[in-house]
Amino acid sequence: MHINQVISIDSEVLSGQPVFAGTRVPVESRFDHLEAGVTLDEFLEDFPSVFKEQVIALLNVAS
């Protein structure tokens, strides 16, 4: 998965904060959920517009 399919940065969306592509869900929210011990499945339930593949690709890039 190409990075532009994972993350989008647009000054018109959340003031340019990085979001999961095609959503208004901040990338930072996944890391906040990780710190809180929220599983990937729970995160995806909370944010159904985010695809599992996007989250996995994000974590791969971050590591």
Parent domain of 7: 3-62
Minimal CA–CA distance to 29: which of 52, 3, 38, 10?
Answer: 38
What CATH number has the domain bearing residue 34?
1.10.10.10
Quote the pTM value: 0.90
Amino acid 4: pLDDT:
87
What's phi and psi for 7, nearest 5 deg?
A: -125, 140
Residue tagged 């909370």 (tokens): 46
Domain count, the chain: 1
- Mean pLDDT over 34-62 rounds to 95
Amino acid 2: pLDDT:
86
